[in-house]
């Protein structure tokens, strides 16, 4: 019986594997990054979050822009830029202590980025709720 069950699972996996579709990266922000950046910084400043240290560089053949926020060099926002200056990836890095201390700066930065790339308020709320739920599970 176990052999039949395992054979069925193997056949199912092979069948799905042959017909699966691989996801491709999508654009996060199609407009010019240099037009979005001042608005992003202004809104962060309005919310009480200092964004500083704008640095452009190339890593693994892709242009990037790195910023810091708050009072630590460990708080990093990295934008991966395309040749047309659109954004293909965003990474926010911060020490876990910010969540332990209920520091809202990270959430302000995240919400501001999501707003700038064009997500609606309901989409932002859904993502924020998912993030909070996952952080509570840690």
Strand partners, 68: 52, 76
What is the pLDDT averaged over residues 109-131?
82
Find out whether 85 and 32 touch, Cβ atoms under 8 Å.
yes
pLDDT digits (tens, 9 = 90+) for 29-77: 889 999 999 999 999 999 889 999 999 999 999 999 999 998 888 889 9
Strands 76-81 and 87-93, sheet pairing = antiparallel
Helix, strand, coil tally for the chain in percent (to 5): 45, 20, 30
Q: What domains can you pick out in the chain, each with its CATH number?
A: 24-137 (3.30.310)
Average pLDDT, the chain: 77
What is the pLDDT averaged over residues 6-12?
37
For residue 44, the model assigns a pLDDT of 92
pLDDT digits (tens, 9 = 90+) for 72-107: 888 899 999 998 999 999 988 887 665 555 467 787
DSSP class of residue 28 equals S
């Amino acid at each position: 019986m176990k052999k039949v069950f395992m054979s069925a699972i193997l056949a199912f996996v092979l069948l799905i594997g042959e017909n699966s579709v691989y996801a491709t990266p999508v654009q996060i922000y199609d407009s010019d990054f240099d037009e979005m950046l001042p608005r992003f910084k202004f809104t962060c400043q309005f919310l009480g979050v200092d964004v500083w240290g704008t640095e452009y560089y190339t890593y693994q053949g892709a242009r990037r822009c790195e910023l810091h926020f708050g009072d630590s060099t460990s708080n990093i926002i990295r934008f991966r830029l395309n040749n047309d200056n659109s954004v293909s990836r965003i990474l926010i890095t911060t020490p876990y202590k910010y969540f332990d201390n209920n520091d809202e700066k990270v959430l302000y930065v995240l919400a501001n980025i999501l707003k700038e790339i064009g997500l609606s308020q309901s989409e932002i709320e859904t993502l924020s709720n998912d993030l909070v739920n996952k952080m509570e599970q840690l």
